[in-house]
């Protein structure tokens, strides 16, 4: 039995929603693979992937199956009880990474909140209250809670909400000397995105991450990798730390982990995990059976040699065509990134205009993202079909041509 729903339009957003977002003019209503349809039945190719979330595109059969089976079985019990999907997911993550322990939550910000609290707790227990300083990087993004905007290196997200969390400093990204100058025995943690996602798709240098690892060890500080955007196959390795060969003490994951169902995870070692003893931290929904059942299905598809190799091949397909589009149109000067997290760096004449390019792309029927005002970002499904890549980039090429010829 279907219940008649009241019709809604984009204009309703401005009437009934808090105005903290500025969504596109159309409303997506259905998706399949890398294609999305809007209210008018118009079809678009999705290279935005819900901001690096829809790792297997829309309505992947394995995820629909996992979600509906779990929906008919058990939705939620709270953490007063554990549940089978959570334990299975933890086993999969522990088996596939450096980690020995998992903590589940509902978003990237919450995963980072847990990571930062754990780092401070470890230092407090082992060395006392003096050792609480966190070093993060300029332009980094770690989420929107007060702790995570305070650690994030973009004051526009943290200013204007009263006193910030203190004991946090920011050093330039990929600058080992700056980190070396800032780190001390008061440092409890250094937090790095292996690829800065939101602020322009900037990959770390291998030597930078290796140097950060060494400095942390010298100062008894923990190395935290925020892999909320880079994790779960995005780079062609399950996690980007594996691509770089530098192992953190704490890793955070979210976005692609649920393939569109909200879930976050903090991964760490047994030795560190024990500092979050009973009662020290928690969440009502975290590790919910629905979310964990879907995440298990995501990992089963993504963490295979075929899928991971496919991501590297698709990277080359995107990069070659995008470089050509950049040269022909003069729109961008560089295509950077790893795996299926790709950034096109706008030429000087187009600096600040990433949003205009998104809008032009949408008019041609392809959804892309920006990463700051100067970079157009692609974060498509990790299993996007080659035919969809070709068709989507043909549409993007038309958008670029129209923009630069007018």
**Closest residue to ligand PLP: CB criterion:** 108
Are residues 340 and 380 in contact, defined by beta-carbon separation less than 8 angstroms? yes
CB of 136 to ligand PLP, least distance (A): 11
Distance, CA of 101 to CA of 274 (rounded, Å): 9
Q: Please identify, among the stretches 66-74, 140-148, 171-179, 364-372, the one whose residues bind ligand PLP according to the rule CB under 6 A.
A: 140-148
- Total residues contacting ligand PLP (rule CB under 6 A)? 15
Is residue 362 close enough to count as binding ligand PLP by CB under 6 A?
A: no
Alpha carbon separation from 312 to 178, 265, 301, 341 (Å, rounded): 32, 25, 16, 11
**In this complex, which beta carbon is closest to ligand PLP, that of residue 148 or of residue 307?**
148
Interface residue with ligand PLP among 54, 229, 253, 381 (CB under 6 A) is 229
21 C-beta neighbours (distance < 10 Å), count: 7
Asked if residue 226 binds ligand PLP (CB under 6 A), the reply is yes
With beta carbons less than 8 A apart as the criterion, state whether 213 and 183 touch.
no
Cα angle: 217, vertex 341, 289; to 5 degrees: 80
Q: How far is the CB of 134 from ligand PLP (least distance, A)?
A: 14
Q: Does 131 bind ligand PLP (CB under 6 A)?
A: no
Q: Which of 92, 116, 225, 226 is catalytic?
A: 226
CB of 375 to ligand PLP, least distance (A): 14
Q: Active-site residue 141, yes or no?
A: yes
Footprint (CB under 6 A) of ligand PLP, residues 158-197? 193, 197
| Choices 178-186, 199-207, 224-232, 393-401 (CB under 6 A): range interacting with ligand PLP | 224-232
Q: Write the interaction track for ligand PLP spanning residues 53-92; mark x where CB under 6 A is met and - where it is not.
A: ----------------------------------------
Cα angle 13, 162, 151; round to 5: 85
Q: Which range touches ligand PLP (CB under 6 A), out of 82-90, 104-112, 309-317, 343-351?
A: 104-112
**Residue placing its CB nearer to ligand PLP in the complex, 86 or 228:** 228
The CA dihedral of 211, 213, 216, 221, to the nearest 10 degrees, is 150
Distance (Å, whole) CA 258 – CA 262:
6
Q: Could you tell me the smallest distance in angstroms from the CB atom of residue 51 to ligand PLP?
A: 7
Q: Rounded to an integer, what distance in angstroms lies between the CA atom of residue 63 and that of residue 56?
A: 8
Task: Report the alpha-carbon distance of residue 42 to residue 53 in Å, rounded.
Answer: 22
Burial class (CB within 10 angstroms; exposed 0-12, middle 13-18, buried 19+) of 258: buried
Per CB under 6 A, does 107 bind ligand PLP?
yes
What the block records as the tokens of 260 is 């569109």
Q: In angstroms, what is the minimal distance from the CB of 23 to ligand PLP? A: 16
Q: Which helix or strand (DSSP H or E) is residue 93 part of?
A: helix 84-96
Where in 253-272 is the site for ligand PLP (CB under 6 A)?
254-255
Is 198 among the residues that bind ligand PLP (CB under 6 A)?
Answer: yes
Among 103, 116, 141, 225, binds ligand PLP (CB under 6 A): 141
Q: How far is the CB of 279 from ligand PLP (least distance, A)?
A: 24
Tell me if residue 255 is catalytic: yes
Q: Which structure tokens are listed for 92?
A: 């999969």
Q: Quote the least distance from Cβ 172 to ligand PLP, whole Å.
A: 17
> Which of these, 36, 89, 54, lies nearest to 383 by C-alpha position?
54
- 188-223 burial string, b = 16+ CB within 10 Å, else e? bbbbbbbbbbbbbbbbbeeebbebbbebbeebebbb
Which residue lies nearer to ligand PLP by CB, 226 or 397?
226
H runs (alpha helix) in 219-337: 240-244, 270-273, 289-302, 305-329
Of 104, 141, 225, 378, which residue is the catalytic one? 141
Catalytic residues, by residue number, are 141, 226, 255
By CB under 6 A, name the binding residues for ligand PLP: 107-109, 112, 141-143, 193, 197-198, 226, 228-229, 254-255
């Amino acid at each position: 039995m279907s219940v008649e729903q009241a019709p809604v339009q984009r204009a309703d957003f401005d009437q009934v929603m808090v105005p903290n977002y500025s969504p596109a003019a159309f409303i997506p209503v259905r998706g399949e693979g890398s294609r999305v349809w809007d209210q008018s039945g118009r079809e678009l190719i999705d290279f935005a992937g819900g901001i690096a979330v829809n790792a297997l595109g829309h309505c992947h059969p394995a995820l629909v199956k996992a979600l509906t089976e779990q929906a008919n079985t058990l939705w939620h019990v709270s953490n007063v009880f554990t549940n089978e999907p959570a334990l299975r997911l933890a086993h999969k993550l522990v088996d596939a990474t450096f980690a020995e322990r998992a903590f589940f939550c509902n978003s990237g910000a919450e995963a980072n909140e847990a990571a930062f609290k754990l780092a401070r707790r470890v230092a407090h227990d082992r060395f006392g209250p003096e050792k609480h300083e966190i070093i993060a990087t300029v332009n980094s993004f770690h989420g929107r809670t007060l702790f995570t905007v305070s650690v994030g290196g973009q004051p526009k997200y943290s200013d204007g909400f009263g006193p910030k969390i203190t004991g946090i400093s920011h050093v330039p990204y990929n600058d080992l000397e700056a980190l070396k100058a800032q780190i001390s025995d008061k440092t409890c943690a250094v937090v790095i995105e292996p690829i800065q996602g939101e602020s322009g798709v900037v990959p770390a240098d291998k030597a930078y991450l290796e140097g950060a690892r060494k400095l942390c060890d010298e100062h008894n500080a923990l190395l935290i990798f925020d892999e909320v955007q880079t994790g779960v196959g995005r780079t062609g390795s399950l996690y980007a730390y594996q691509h770089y060969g530098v192992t953190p003490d704490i890793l955070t994951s979210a976005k692609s982990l649920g393939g569109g169902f909200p879930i976050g995870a903090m991964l760490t070692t047994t030795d560190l995990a024990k500092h979050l003893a009973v009662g020290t931290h928690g969440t009502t929904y975290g590790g919910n059976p629905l979310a964990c059942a879907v995440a298990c299905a995501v990992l089963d598809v993504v963490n295979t040699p075929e899928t991971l190799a496919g991501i590297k091949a698709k990277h080359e397909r995107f990069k070659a065509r995008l470089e050509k589009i950049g040269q022909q149109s003069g729109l961008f000067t560089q295509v950077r990134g790893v795996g299926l997290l790709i950034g096109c760096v706008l030429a000087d004449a187009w600096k600040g205009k990433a949003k205009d390019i998104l809008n032009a792309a949408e008019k041609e029927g392809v959804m892309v993202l920006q990463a700051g005002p100067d970079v157009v970002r692609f974060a498509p499904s990790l299993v996007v079909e080659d035919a969809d890549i070709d068709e989507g980039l043909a549409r993007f090429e038309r958008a670029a041509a129209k923009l630069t010829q007018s």
